[in-house]
Each structure stands twice: as C-alpha cells, then as structure tokens.
Amino acid sequence: MTVAATRSAPEHLMTEAEFEAWCDEDTRAEFVDGKVILMSPVSAIHDDLFHFIARLIGMYLEYRPSGRVRGPEFEIRLREGLRRVPDLLFVCQERTQLLRSTYVEGAPDAAWEIVSPDSVERDWRDKHHDYEAAGVREYWIVDPHHQQVRLLRLVEGRYQPVAEDAGRLLSETIPGFWLKPEWLWQEPLPRTMDCLREMGVA
C-alpha cells in the first residue's frame, strides 16, 4: 500500500467528518465505516513496481491521452463512510469531474493494488468487494510475492478474471493499453521506453 503514518490510529469509531479533520496530508489512512486503517511502510520491491507501473501508464497517456492517473496517496470516496487509497487509479476523460483536490468522489474507472504482506486479505478480499460494489470497472492486483498479476473486469456487476492474450493483459478502460506480467518480474525491471516501443506508442 502507501507510506505509513507515524501517528496511531484512533481506537474509537469516527464519523467521516471527524476522519477528514483528523487525516492530514502526512497521514496515509483508509476509512471503513468508522474505523481508521493506517497504511504500512512499503518494501523496496513494492516501491520499484509502483514506480514502474506509474511511469508506464503515465507516459502511455502522454502519447495517447484518455484520462488521468493518480496515486499512490489519492483517496477514493466510494460511498458515504468508505474511503480507500489504491496504489494507482485511473479516471477516463469523460468522468474527470469526479476528481477533487485530494480524492475521487465515486468509483474510478480502474484501480491498482500492489499486495504487501500486511495487505493480503485487504487487497484480495476486502477491496475486491468494495471496488466491485462501487462499480470500479477494472481492478488490477499485483502480487510480487507470488509473481502474479490478476486483472478483474466488471461484467454485469460482478468481477470476472481476464485471461492473458499472448502473454498480455489488455485494458478496456485505457484504450490500447496492455501489460505483460513478465515485465514485472525481471531483474532489473525493463526500461519504460522499451516497453512503450513494444506497445507501439513510442
């Protein structure tokens, strides 16, 4: 997940307004129906993967603009009382009115989570449910400990896994964008420009 705060999470339940007042810009936390969840420190592999994926998507959108990417400290207010902090999120151009200065009001079009040892259940189960229920069209789960990438796509209100096509996972929310999971497990990680050339955009 994201960078941990140095403060402790409140032991009592909070209202959403209290959480907004309590959670300053130096505190990385999620809010789930009154409960505050602080984010743990990230590992080196988490950080490397985040920056690689963020660069790849960000540079892709420079060549083929279709929306905005935000992360890793940008909240999603999925509904009243539920605020999540994905590692990355994408909002298509037609829905950028959802973007506020520090959060997204409603479901983004896509979200990415890089699984950490302390976030396994949260990323695979809790956020799967939350993103599905809120209508996040694509959910990408990157699990470096099992060298696994799962792309889930919303079909009639339920997430369905997307199979690889010639070793690629193809996005529908970012037109023309795809990712080769094998890129993520290379040491060192491939150069972003080499991947973009392989994608035919640079």
Domain ranges of the chain: 42-199
* Residue found under tokens 């497990």: 185
Beta-bridged to residue 67, according to DSSP, are: 92
What mean pLDDT is predicted for residues 8-37?
91
What mean pLDDT is predicted for residues 21-37?
91
Phi, psi values for residue 127, rounded to 5°: -75, -30
pLDDT at position 5, please? 42
pLDDT at position 118, please? 85
% of the chain beyond a pLDDT of 90: 87
128, containing H or E segment: helix 127-134
Rg of the chain over all Cα atoms, to the nearest angstrom: 17
Note the pLDDT tens digit of each residue in 120-133. 999 999 999 999 99
143: closest CA among 135, 133, 152? Answer: 152
CA distance linking residue 84 with residue 2, whole number of Å: 11
pTM: 0.92
Question: Would you say 31 and 16 are in contact if contact means Cβ atoms under 8 Å apart?
Answer: yes
Residue partners of 39: CB distance under 8 A and separation at least 6: 1, 2, 3, 4, 5, 28, 29, 30, 85
Phi, psi values for residue 46, rounded to 5°: -60, -50
What mean pLDDT is predicted for residues 29-52?
94
Assigned CATH for 42-199: 3.90.1570.10
Evaluate if residue 3 carries a pLDDT over 80.
Answer: no
What mean pLDDT is predicted for residues 70-78?
94
Residue partners of 104: CB distance under 8 A and separation at least 6: 70, 74, 75, 76, 77, 89, 91, 98
Mean pLDDT for all residues in the chain:
94
pLDDT at position 6, please? 53
Note the pLDDT tens digit of each residue in 160-199. 999 999 999 999 999 999 999 999 999 999 999 999 999 9
Cis peptide before 72 (omega within 30 of 0): yes
Question: Would you say 53 and 178 are in contact if contact means Cβ atoms under 8 Å apart?
Answer: no
* Residue found under tokens 């999925």: 78
pLDDT at position 24, please? 86
